[in-house]
Structure 1
Amino acid sequence: MTEDSKRFEAAARLRRRTVLTSATAAIMGGAIGVGPGPAQAAPPETYWFRNVEIGGGGFVPGIVFNEGQRDIVYARTDIGGAYRWSQWRARWEPMLDFVGPDQWGHTGVAALAADPVETSRVYAAVGTYTNFWDPRNGAILRSQDFGRTWETAELPFKLGGNMPGRGIGERLAVDPNRNRILYLAAPSGNGLWRSADYGASWAEVDSFPNPGDYVPEPDADPNSPGAQRIGLLWVVFDQSSGRRGETSRDIYVGVGDKENSVYRSTDAGATWERLPGQPTGFLPHRAVFDHVGGYLYMATTDGAGPNDGAAGDVWRFESASGEWTNVSPVPSSSEENAWGYSGLTIDRQNPGTLMVTTQVQWWPDCNIFRTTDGGATWTRAWDWGDGLNRSFRYTMDITEVPWLDWGLDPEPPETRPKLGWWMESMAIDPFDSDRMMYGTGATIYGSTDLTAWDSDDQITIRPMIRGLEETAVVELMSPPEGAPLFSGLGDLGGFRHERIDAIPAAMYPAPQMSPVTTLDYAELAPALILRVGRGDTYLAISTDGGENWTAGTAPEGSTGPGRNGAGAAISATGDRILFAPDGAPVGYSTDAGATWTASTGIPEGAHVESDRVDPATFYGWAQGEVYVSTDGGASFTRTATGLPTDNGDIKAVPGHEGELWICGGGSASGIWRSVDRGATFNRLDAAQDAFGIGFGKAAPGSDTPTVFTIATIDGTWGVFRSDDAGATWIRVNDDDHQYGSPSVIAGDPRVFGRYYLGTNGRGVIVADRL
């Protein structure tokens, strides 16, 4: 499963949850069961929020330095929001954590723009999908305080922060002479848009002649991401064509059209022309303008990216003469060229110095090229030597994020860590020729000794990612002893987090899985841990608290790891495993997954869970019905109906035999509790809907574990905690900490009040009482 498809699948789940959030309140009157009486919502409690340190893990398609003030740097991610670099803390700070489930698409950032005049101003073009998965239109967010607070201008069309072509850009630009004017290059045939009031209002530029016709996959299903037009690509200004306070006259726009890809206005956007003599056959992914020399540079490739691109060129356009020159490090006509170019940047201190990346070059690695003479000659980050040997102008130091080697030590010419992949964003600091950053599919790398390259010395490349987290979280588990947290992630597989404030040394060892979809431990023997996911095997067992793992098998006919968070369960003593894989009946194993016997009485694809006290009891939940086994998963009996049907969770309570909670959507949406092994359930009336549930350490003086849920309670969406089995609820997040639409939650059994929140793109959040 590709990174794209995993994220698209996650977004589809979130879309359904968002629809349920707004729709379920109207149908709660028909819910069955006798509730314990109205729950009371207590005042919110003050919490401290921070990330569990992972160190990146996702695609960073945009890095923007403010050209008007030193050390103002922004980064955008495709599903995890946008960040501002803190120079004194040497880490990134998130700017869009306030986005809630009603606007979850705003966590996909399609473009960023930093104002070089009033340097506290920053803009973000937000919207995750241009197809049906995102029900809302895009928007332009504008801030006057470096992204600490924002105002919103809604757009009449969608934006695609996580669509094909998301590494192209930047689609949003501020006029460097008259900074109240901005342009937006829109996707999907929506043309060019302009604002004349600092992004507060927008209007289409009717005179712009070409909205772009390129479709990455023209024969695909019309609703698929690849069937959408990528539209317009970027906007750049020739700053020398105007004066401060006056509109820049010369504006260039890239277009998703392989025959007509660059247009220019020389009258401040009133009229436009296709640049004559321009190259054809490729898409211009990135462009920069040399204001001193009067040159437009473009990096082109033959696909939308970020996962395709097999050929391309770098071009220079001289604005004074109209002359085009192919300045490719390796031209597309060469037999060596098997890549497209992207990641283009210019050194503003020395405008003849540029760098460009190969966008996709899987073997043996991507490359970076550098010129100090405007593209006449280039040097490479690495080059071929004798045979399969390579020579390098860099060394890589991943001490800070050691898992970036993926636990691999390949044979030459491959190396670990890789220089990168999906390298579509590269930026040289406009105030410091030695500092450079570039984004990859897994992190941000950078250098602070860049000019050593020109003396044939090796530069040092390090991760510059601390604080920026961009993993899609599928599952979380916090056992009562050993490592405090285990994560199941969409792209990296996941981690055993020995410390939540330190980046882990490595991902889960073999057998590797991506994503990891279910984690469970034996409640009475917590060193026994079950890990389920997609890989060469679907299941693995650890007997030493997750340090080492042994691969198991899966029931015959299995095609996948089953339900996220509830595809498998291990008994309280660890002697039995229940597995509900995709494509095969539910089965149980008494030999750590070596062999399987089919269970009876439970439907295929059920959510499964183990009783946390009685090792013979397992539970199943499917289509609003509960099934119970008291013989170790061999046979099940249906015990209850009329419960939530989808998009939820099933959890048994640690230390309380026979206590089971279910939350979810459908006609019986909300939270339901059983204290008799699932024979009967009571609905907690305060919850209109809920999509995750977890248990943590009991409050002082109590033996009732705290309950955490992501829910709408008494009409308010949020993260809630109950210390009294759902009789009362306290909101334990706030409007500044909503994280899009999180769906995974786990309490910490060792720290009262602590919970872990899994997000779709912002990594894992840990929250503590203040």
Structure 2
Amino acid sequence: MRPFHALLLLLAAAPIEAAFSWANVVTGGGGGFIPSIVFHPKTQGVAYARADIGGLYKLNSDDSWTPITDGITQDATWHNWGADALALDPQNSDVVYAALGMYTNSWDPNNGCIAKSTNQGSTWTFSNLTFKVGGNMPGRGTGERLAVDPANSNIIYFGARSGHGLWRSTDGGATFSNVTSFTNTGSYRQTPSDTSGYGSDIMGLLFVTFDSTSSTINGATSRIFVGVADNITASVYESTDAGTTWKPLAGQPAAFFPHKCRLQSTEKALYLTYSNGIGPYDGTSGSVWRYDLTTSAWKDITPVSGSNLYFGFGGIGVDMLKPGYLVVAALNSWWPNAQIYRSNNSGSTWTPIWEWSSYPAMNNYYSLSTPNAPWIVPGFWDVTNDEDLGWMIESLEIDPFDSNHWLYGTGLTVMGGHDLTNWDTIHNVSLSTLAKGIEEMAVTTLVSVPGGSELLVAVGDDSGFTYLSSSSLGTPPSTNWLNPGFTTSTDVDYAGLAVADVVRSGNSAGTQQLAVSSNGGGTWSIDYGASTSEYGGTLAYSASGDTVVWSTASQGVLRSQYTGSFASVTGLPATAIIASDKQNDNYFYGGYASTFYVSSNNGQTFAAGGTLSGATQVNDVIVHPKIAGEVYVSTNAGIYLSTNFGSSFTLLTSALTNVYHIALGVGSGSTWNLYAFGTGSAGNKLYGSADNGNTWTDIQGTQGFGSIAGCSLAGSGNVAGQVYVGTNGRGVFYAQGTITGSSSGGSTTTSSSVSTHASSSTTSRASSSTITTTPTTLKTSTHSSTASSSTSTATCTASHYSQCGGLTYTGCTQCATGYTCVFSNSYYSQCL
């Protein structure tokens, strides 16, 4: 996410706050990377997980999870959803610490903090740091970088990034000071040439591990180990005098970076995983080692060698009840599956979770189920050459109170089970996805269709979802958006007079990145009118469903009618925001910089429309679902309304400024509510109006949505007072309530059934397929460009969130103005 922080403007009027109670729309599968899971070492049933962009979660007794950082992620504190480290107090199971912050480069303007909760995440206090923390930076799966002294709850250590070294608190996390005697602050940079600072930042320190079996000095544990991203000098350091002095461990492995360091106290041994990459995407070789704390002897216990060793190692779990029993995971065995190994003799020998029988046949020593997220089966497990067991496995843990209970985090979900010891007898375990309650998806667009599908949700990495009715919002969909399945769906739109007709776009060059549906997003087919070089951006579907206008990331603004080939439109700048009139087939609208554009000939040509006096930046354009020619435009100066197809505009109110995404949804009676993310009397928040912008109510309350500039927004087209918010890392939230107002907007009511109506005078683009599935919905919100106006000539620029580089990639490498091409891994760079 690229942060956009607006100046906070406080108005004299006190905010009105409605009693909206927010809940997640359920996918049940997590949807993103879980770098770490931590069990409390002394209290059964207490465990937490951290997400790279979705905050912290607490494990419940029924294998579900509860988010515990939503309340500390308002607009000004959006980066608190980035969690780079997690620590529990061994002496007090109510105490939780986390190192919070999203990026160490310019994308995050704020320094990080160490957050502390004394009530398992119900409330938090903060110790502000003088440098940044990178919860979504390279190497975020190593660790933990944060640790509490098991002999003294007042002592906490934190290993920083960016060359800031080792830090220590002696007052229970209230303050931290630099440990100046620890001098190796790390020198490794994943991508030194990355000018954005993302891949070129110094990786720094990787973990802090206390030896709880060692003696104490002045009440502090004497022996401490620290990992450093240094594959040249030394990577593991030791203190035997409670942190006063430090030295590298003698005889330690060279060349690789340590990822995890686990203490098995009964064995008096450390187990460490190594990779030649810092993670979470890379690593083509690695090793696993055991360090004897009594003899100071190192032993190479790497499970495989030779041609079978084509990956590094990440997560490692040690059984605290059965010394010598452990599991270790390949960090990224990208083909044909992830690999996990089990040892019952301290790593002397291992058995795999799968092996080749007679290539290409495999013996799988596990069963798989995903009752919490059935869409993972068709979306991932049934896909050829996809990894059933996961990828990016940086955390692999065995419950210290139950040898059968194990969990591990992947790039998609949390997996695990309750029969791990079966591996030692019948060599077969039962695995399930166990991420219920974790909603970590980055949402690009939301749409609620009046008289059609209740919610369409476009997301990054997992394509998208359709929820046909409001009653399905709490049920995980049976499938994500497939056939075609885009890695990331950038936008989705519907035809106002044929609401079952839906179109969506994807973000990868090389195949057609446009899909259509004739059953509200239940099933899809490829729109072959698109070429293989057009991708990304935003969409506008004509009222009757015969025409698509596509503001692409790669070829400028294009138009196609009757499923024909796309051609450039005239008069609209590349990357412009676009929208279609939902009742009049002739009209499309656009916005770029401070100019509003109108097409009255079905999107063929555009010309400047009414003036937005006082505004310098168009952020969003929406159209009333039931009233032709009624157009709303959000800008830095507020919200403007046109009732004459964009010919002229009126500023609705000055009470809301710096307005980003806006949405209309059915209100009480026959009215429509207007929703907006902007700056008002309660600060930078989500507001609702029942009187067409005359008065505004804070409907967000204490719920955190992160940066309001990065959120998508939709009002329900079918359920009175229901509103949806898509976040960059916490999935979709929804709430229902009543907003009072003095006057009404439009007055057309809607029904909840999916219409199959199509205009009699035009031909719909949508597929006529009648295959039925349980769909999921998503919708990507439009974004604003900060560039100056340009011509409509197609230029090869990638839009926000689109791919812009990587091995084998042949698309656009220049990002739209205001965004930077950011290296993620060798195969993928993205505009952020």
**Structure 1 gaps, min length 5:** 1-10, 27-37
Alignment deviations for residues 385-422 of structure 1 (CA, whole Å, 9 cap, x no partner): 1222211221111232122234367698x5x6610100
More moved, 455-464 vs 753-762 = 455-464
**C-alpha deviations, 1:53-87, integer Å up to 9, x for none?**
11211000010001121111100000111111121
1:31 corresponding residue in structure 2 = none
Structure 1 distance, partners of 2:279, 2:22, is 35
Say whether the 8 Å CA contact 2:55–2:83 is kept in structure 1: yes
Matched, 1:340 2:312: yes
- Alignment match, 1:640: 610
Query: CA–CA distance in 1 between the matches of 2:14 and 2:492?
Result: 31
Counterpart pick for 2:215 among 242, 260, 267: 242
Deviation at 1:444, TM superposition (A): 0.1
Identity %: 36
Structure 1 residue 759 corresponds to structure 2 residue 727: yes
Cα distance, 1:689 vs. partner?
Answer: 1.0
1:117 alignment partner in structure 2:
91
Hey, what does 1:629 align to over in structure 2?
599
Q: Structure 1, residues 126-167: CA drift from partner, whole Å, max 9, x if none?
A: 111111111111100000000110001110111111111011
Is 1:538 paired with 2:506? Answer: no
2:672 paired with 1:727: no
Cα distance in 2 for residues equivalent to 1:311 and 1:394 = 25
1:207-356 residue pairs with structure 2 within 5 A? Answer: 207-218=181-192, 220-242=193-215, 246-259=219-232, 260-331=234-305, 334-356=306-328
Deviations 1:507-545 (A, max 9, x none): 112122232112111112110111122242222221121
Over the aligned positions, Cα root-mean-square deviation in angstroms equals 2.1
The question of 1:662 aligning with 2:633 is answered yes
> Matches of 1:278 and 1:623 in 2, distance apart?
57
- Aligned pairs for 1:413-562 within 5 A: 414=385, 418-498=388-468, 499-535=472-508, 536-553=511-528, 559-562=534-537
Aligned equivalents of 1:121 and 1:41: distance in 2? 36
Choose the corresponding residue for 1:575, options 527, 546, 571.
Answer: 546
How far apart, in 1, do the equivalents of 2:346 and 2:15 lie?
64
| Partner of residue 699 from structure 1, selected from 660, 663, 668 | 668
CA distance in 2, matches of 1:674, 1:647: 14
1:747 is matched with: 715
- 2:362 match: 390
**What letter matches 1:76 in structure 2?**
R
Q: Equivalent residue for 2:685?
A: 718
How far apart in 2 are the matches of 1:585 and 1:207? 56
Change in Cα spacing, 1:128 to 1:735, as seen in structure 2 (3 Å) is same
CA distance in 2, matches of 1:271, 1:407: 52
Does residue 653 (structure 1) correspond to residue 621 (structure 2)? The answer is no
Instruction: Tell whether 2:339 aligns with 1:370.
Output: no
> CA offsets, 1:555-590, max 9 Å, x none?
67954322xxxx221122222222222343533322
Tell me the TM-score normalized by structure 1. 0.91
Q: Is the 8 A contact 1:41 1:728 kept in 2?
A: no
Please give the alpha-carbon distance, in whole angstroms, between the structure 1 residues aligned to 2:455 and 2:657: 29
Give, in whole Å, the separation in 1 of the partners of 2:642 and 2:13.
20
Quote the Cα distance in structure 1 between the aligned partners of 2:558 and 2:133: 44
Kept in 1: contact 2:372–2:434 (CA 8 A): no
Question: Structure 1 residue 107 and structure 2 residue 76: aligned?
Answer: no
Report how far residue 641 of structure 1 moved.
3.6
C-alpha deviation, 1:686, in angstroms: 0.7
Match of 1:165 among 124, 139, 152: 139
Corresponding residue SS for 1:640: coil
- Are residues 239 and 408 of structure 1, via their aligned partners in 2, closer, same or farther at CA, if it must alter by over 3 Å? closer
Q: Counterpart amino acid of 1:360? A: N
* In 1, Cα distance between equivalents of 2:345 and 2:582: 68
Q: CA–CA distance in 2 between the matches of 1:428 and 1:78?
A: 21
Give the alignment partner of residue 679 of structure 1, picking from 633, 647, 663.
Answer: 647
| 2:64/2:435 contact within 8 Å kept | no
Give the Å deviation of 1:88. Answer: 4.9
Number of aligned positions between the proteins: 728
Letter in 2 for 1:521: Y
Question: Which residue does the alignment assign to 2:768?
Answer: none
Could you give the per-residue CA deviations for residues 223-263 of structure 1, whole angstroms, max 9, x where no partner exists?
Answer: 33111111000011110113699211100001111130010
Q: CA deviation at 1:428?
A: 0.5
Between the aligned partners of 2:466 and 2:383, the Cα distance in structure 1 is: 27
Does residue 197 (structure 1) correspond to residue 197 (structure 2)? The answer is no
Q: How far has the Cα of 1:117 moved from its partner?
A: 0.5
AA partner of residue 187 (structure 1): R
Going from structure 1 to structure 2, the CA distance change for 1:210 and 1:417 (only over 3 Å counts) comes to closer
> CA–CA distance in 2 between the matches of 1:90 and 1:411?
26
Deviation, structure 1 residue 763? 0.4
Specify the alignment match of 1:51 in structure 2: 24
Measure how far apart 1:89 and its partner are: 7.2
Output the amino acid matched with 1:104: W
Q: CA deviation at 1:284?
A: 0.5
Q: CA deviation at 1:715?
A: 5.5
Partner residue, 2:817: none
Match of 2:107 in 1: 133
CA contact (8 A) 1:671 1:689 kept: no
Q: Distance in 2 between matches of 1:407 and 1:100?
A: 32
CA contact (8 A) 1:178 1:244 kept: no
CA contact (8 A) 2:335 2:387 kept: no
User: Aligned residue for 1:35?
Assistant: none
Query: 2: distance between equivalents of 1:537 and 1:555?
Result: 6
CA contact (8 A) 1:39 1:727 kept: no
**Cα distance in 2 between the residues matched to 1:457 and 1:485:** 44
- Residue 49 (structure 2) pairs with residue 75 (structure 1): yes
Which string of whole-angstrom CA distances, capped at 9 and with x for unpartnered residues, describes residues 593-634 of structure 1?
A: 332344323223221111122121111111211111222112
Q: Please state whether the residue corresponding to 1:451 is helix, strand or coil.
A: helix
Give the secondary structure class of the aligned counterpart of 2:76.
Answer: helix
Would the alpha carbon gap of residues 645 and 584 (structure 1) be closer, same or farther in structure 2, given more than 3 Å must change? farther
> Which secondary structure state, in structure 1, belongs to the residue aligned with residue 92 of structure 2?
coil
Return the offset for 1:749. 1.6
Alignment partner of 1:405 is 2:392:
no
For 2:285 and 2:726, the matched residues in 1 are separated by 38
Report the counterpart of residue 602 of structure 1 in structure 2. Answer: 572
The amino acid that maps onto 2:172 is Y
Q: 3-state SS of the aligned residue for 1:513?
A: coil
Q: Distance in 2 between matches of 1:146 and 1:371?
A: 33
Measured after TM superposition, the shift of residue 737 of structure 1 is 3.4
* Unmatched tracts of structure 2, length 5 or more: 739-832
Whole-Å separation in 2 of the counterparts to 1:275 and 1:389: 44
Distance across 1 between alignment mates of 2:209 and 2:57: 22
Contact in 1 for aligned 2:529/2:560 (Cα 8 Å):
no
The answer to whether the 8 Å contact 1:405/1:417 transfers is no
